[in-house]
Amino acid sequence: METYQPSGALTGSVLDGRYRVDALIATGGMSGVYRGLDLRLDRPVACKIMDSRYAGDEHFLTRFQREARAVARLKDPGLVAVYDQGPGTPAGQPPYLVMELVEGGTLRELLRERGPMPPHAVAAVLRPVLSGLAAAHRAGLVHRDIKPENVLISDDGDVKIADFGLVRALAEAKITSTSVILGTAAYLSPEQVATGETDARGDVYAVGILVFELLTGRTPFTGDSPLAVAYQRMDRDVPPPSTAIGGVPRQFDDLVAIATARDPAQRFADAGEMAQELEVVVRELGLPGFRVPAPRNSALHQSASTVDGTGGTGSTTGIDGTAGVVAAPRHTKVFTRDELPPQEFDDDGYRPATGTFAGIELDEFYWARQRAKRVLLFWVVAVITLAALAAAGAWTLGANLPNLL
């Protein structure tokens, strides 16, 4: 069960005499995220505070500062802005990042509330995600940990990627080694599992897994441990999303197949190339525009009520007001290859999907798309018919012009 925690160990403290740490929003394998306030500018911020064990690692701190500077230079609506960073002290304050506070929630929380998405909603999520990744890839940066927890959705419908640079800082600080895998098992590319190394095509693979999950409500591989999940992609292709849920267009099956090819050379070269293919798919299917809704019952919303003194009960609540048990979040972790069990893994069936999104049957979205196609076909036929009649009239007039004269 994932529960909202109204306070954390650092709640009430002030970082570098400037950033007040308020309610705890979420915790991960290496850090905690808090709602905060920039006391100098009177601006709400998000404070990502690393585990205190990293405060004394000079190699990590050097890499951490370098990555923060590189990410802060990136400008794209699909990226969470980085405002500041602090190195921490060996005996006291841990390293931290100060970022834009995106009032809303995570894509993971939205999936829990609403279930699988129809194609046009998936496209609406992917556009800003791929745009933000493309900006980073052009600058030579790789995220390494794309997953629903790191995709934020604002109450205004903006979609942004968070947590750039942290995994790379840990990896290049030699916290990892050839016997260690760093990341989130369900979204790792085969080369990350095999060697720990990756590039922009590793992010593309993770986005492909993300597309599969958005369409079906689950990731393609399962196992008894995170490392078992990670190793399955070494000798298995990601199945087409249409095998897990009905109504997925062939174009999305193809998009996932290319993005998750086991050979990196067969994938899209970077997020920019994948974004171009997504636009082709959107045009072919005639997908309508869509405003991505923020999750209603997000940890961030609950943290706001705690700061305002209006809530914070320590439990999750469903949309209908009833208490609910939710699956544990997937954290960025360090896995040792020795954890890999020797047994073979069965090809699990898929959990039944809800068949709805935002309370609307997925079949409704399918028939809406079919109606849009029929309307387009009608106008194409009408234009061709009018053009043919005009041409026939002009030919008849030209043939009889001497008689008329």
The CB-based long-range contact list for 172-180 (8 Å cut-off, 24+ gap) reads: 172/63, 173/57, 173/59, 173/60, 173/62, 173/63, 173/64, 174/59, 175/57, 175/60, 175/334, 176/334, 179/336, 179/337, 179/338, 180/334, 180/335, 180/336, 180/337
Buried b (16+ CB within 10 A) or exposed e, 120-139: bbbbbbbbbbbbbbbbbbee
Q: In whole angstroms, give the CA distance from residue 21 to residue 18.
A: 10
CA dist 328 to 192, 231, 242, Å? Answer: 23, 21, 26
Q: In whole angstroms, give the CA distance from residue 181 to residue 170.
A: 11
C-alpha dihedral (365, 370, 376, 380), degrees to nearest 10: 170
E strand spans, 39-81: 43-50
Q: In whole angstroms, give the CA distance from residue 193 to residue 217.
A: 24
Q: In whole angstroms, give the CA distance from residue 22 to residue 8.
A: 9
Strand pairing class (356-357; 360-361): antiparallel
What's the half-sphere exposure (Cβ side, CA atoms, 13 Å) at 109?
28
CA dist 16 to 48, 86, 97, Å? Answer: 14, 8, 12
The single-letter DSSP state of residue 54 is: G
Q: In whole angstroms, give the CA distance from residue 97 to residue 94.
A: 10
Token readout for 101 is 């506070």
Q: In whole angstroms, give the CA distance from residue 279 to residue 291.
A: 17
Helix H or strand E encompassing 86: strand 82-86
The DSSP-derived string for 28-41 is -SSEEEEEEEETTT
Active-site hit among 22, 145, 253, 270: 145
Q: Is 145 a catalytic residue?
A: yes
Q: In whole angstroms, give the CA distance from residue 220 to residue 186.
A: 8
Residues marked active site are found at: 145
